[in-house]
Amino acid sequence: MELVKINKGYTLIELLVTLAIIGIVLSIYSTLYYSSYKSYVSTQKNIDIEQNVRYAMTYITNQINQNSNGIILSNFDNNIAHSITVINEDGNIKFSFNNNIIYREKNGIKNQLAIDIYIFNIKVITDKMINIEIGGKKDDGTGEFTLSTDIFLRKGNINVQQ
């Protein structure tokens, strides 16, 4: 009488080879995923910084151009102001810079206008023109983005407070 062997399964070596191949494939995909995720986060942070700088510049220039009866520059350092007050009929709006944040203050209420800012400089060009420079960057010093614009005052004057 002969014994008939019925092989209905996998050997231990076949299972180990399969697990090794799956492990290699998963490690490749996880490395690729992690690298892509880090790139996405970095790019998103750069976009956020650019958006903050653009928003702050647009908001400040609109306030000066639309409603201004003049401006007051203060908080000077080497002939560069770091604070600007827009004189309006419905209340003055002060924009100041402190701890990498541009603040907007109106009627005693102070709010953040933009974060991750490292430059907020206002220079007097002529008696009716100023230059505003706003720059932002990430905490690690990368992703730097700077905007600069010249604004001509149509009405009102530039007042300087040392």
Query: Which two tokens mark 150?
Result: 């010249």
Is pLDDT at 76 greater than 90 in this prediction? no
More confident residue, 66 or 109: 109
How high does pLDDT run on average in the chain? 90
pTM for this predicted structure: 0.80
Read off the pLDDT of residues 32-43 as tens digits, 9 standing for 90 and up. Answer: 999 999 999 999
The domain limits of the chain are: 32-160
Side chain identity, residue 59: Y
Residue 88's pLDDT is 85
CB atoms within 10 A of CB 65: 13
Residue 97's pLDDT is 95
Q: Tell me the percentage of the chain whose pLDDT exceeds 90.
A: 65
Q: Give phi and psi for 112, each to the nearest 5.
A: -75, 130
